[in-house]
Amino acid sequence: MRTIASYHHKGGVGKTTTAVALAAHAAAGGDRTLLWDLDPQGAATRLLGADRGTEERIGEVIQAGGTVAPWIVPTEQERLALVPADPSLRTLDRYLDIEHDGPGRIHAALGHGMDYDTVVLDCPPSVSLTAAAVLQAADLVVVPLTAGPLAWSAYADLYAEVDAMGLEHRPAVLAFLTMVDRRKRLHRDLVDGDEPPEGFSSVTVPTDSRVERMAIESHPLRAVLTGRAGRAYGELWAEAAAASASSSR
């Protein structure tokens, strides 16, 4: 079982879209796939047509050192299942900080009788104990970066954040540029000009209005499976699958 986290410390960079796209392509390619929505906003849960609910189930699972298996729900896409977000994610840090094994509890919650080829974790946009626990559970962290002059420095900052977390298991990192609009000279210069840092994907995901409308479409996954953005996400999934296979535990 490979575990891939979609992570960025700030919101609005396409983190959830990336998680949904990777999970959708994994399932479309034949993998038994689980997407765990760990973002309190629950955007991935809504995009996959599930109910966020009012019960604080995930917090109880993490506190007890249990498994998320009872709370997995199917989605409309074949081979893709979901652990929906719930309100307990807003205060999940308190359950991860109660004992010395707290940071490993996300990983433990996936280790009891799970029968999946790929698990995708949608990480909350924060530098927190929850984020550290998600990264601890991951074989690979995929980092979306919006095209702009600060993209490379934001990538460098990520490594500093991961170092500061003091993770026992350090995942591989794969960053890529997203929301690329080649009509803008700044975006063209960034994509075609400077050599990206090591570990940076050659895949660039273009701006696509269908992706922006995902939340109001009756079949939202089409936006990340087809069209210009969908093709790019498919290439990113192939690269992520190979990278996670080489770093899986």
Q: Among 1.10.10.10, 3.40.190.10, 3.65.10.10, 3.40.50.300, what is the CATH number of 2-247? A: 3.40.50.300
Which pLDDT score is estimated for 156? Answer: 76
Joined together, the tokens standing for residue 239 give 């690269």
Which pLDDT score is estimated for 28? Answer: 97
Closest by CA position to 248, among listed 119, 108, 82: 119
* Rounded Cα distance, 130 and 125, in Å: 10
Which pLDDT score is estimated for 197? Answer: 67
Positive or negative torsion for Cα 147, 150, 153, 157:
negative
Tell me which residues of the chain have a pLDDT lower than 50: none
* Rounded Cα distance, 21 and 105, in Å: 25
User: What is the per-residue pLDDT across 33-90, written as a single tens digit (0 to 9) for each?
Assistant: 999 999 999 999 999 999 877 788 898 888 888 899 999 999 999 999 999 999 999 9
Which pLDDT score is estimated for 113? Answer: 61
